[in-house]
Amino acid sequence: MAHPILVVTAVAAEAEAVRAGADPSHVVVESVGVGPAAAAAGTARLLAKGSYRAVISAGIAGGFPGRAPVGATVIGARSIAADLGAESPDGFLPIEELGFGTSVRPADPLLLKGLTAALPEAIAGDVLTLATVTGTAATAEALSRRFPRAVAEAMEGFGVAVAAAGLPFAELRAISNPIGPRDRAAWRLKDAFAALSTASTALWTACG
């Protein structure tokens, strides 16, 4: 039997949504905690205990207005640690400009191709990983300018990608709210979880 796919989420509610759609004989789903550090540590722990054919970071996310509407499904072509770097008088300096590594983890090309084929309605683009998610219009605008291909922001993708090491990796998100000023009354969590469950039915086909 082929090795299963490991799907890593931040919280239990996301894991339950993925399990509702995924084939349990081929897909292992675990929640590991919120944020890039918890995601990296939890993913590494899971990989040390089992053998998997691919790793997917999955969950809900904030969408960039005009790029990924609430209720949409997003596939991360790249997972980017958007706040990994330094401040300067001239603006934010990404880790690459400091000479200390990379803030970008591309999705595995074959896995990305399989996901986009299996989920033709999904929006492909960059997914930002932030330890502090956006809560103001000014930050949302700044991120939109810095990352013109970004479609969503979440808190775990880059951490999962780092821990995945040489295994095929991708990020799958469902949009629950637009990024920017926090308005919990406008969040559509139920719709986002339903979209995540629907997308999860295609995981094994996409990774096959």
* 3-state SS track over 135-183: CCHHHHHHHHHHCCCEEEEECCHHHHHHHHCCCCEEEEEEEEEECCCCC
> What pLDDT score was predicted for residue 208?
65
> What pLDDT score was predicted for residue 39?
97
Which residues on adjacent β-strands are paired with residue 81? 129
* Spans of the chain below 70 pLDDT: 1, 208
Enclosing domain of residue 195: 5-207
Q: Are 57 and 32 in contact (CB under 8 A)?
A: no
SS3 117: helix
- The model's pTM is 0.94
Q: Domain of 41: which CATH number?
A: 3.40.50.1580
Here the tokens at position 161 are: 């990608």
Count structural domains, the chain: 1
> What pLDDT score was predicted for residue 35?
95
pLDDT tens for each residue of 118-153 = 999 999 999 999 999 999 999 999 999 999 999 999
Is the CA virtual torsion 130, 80, 175, 204 positive or negative? negative
Q: What is the 3-state secondary structure (H, E, C) of 4-34?
A: CEEEEECCHHHHHHHHHHCCCCCEEEEECCC
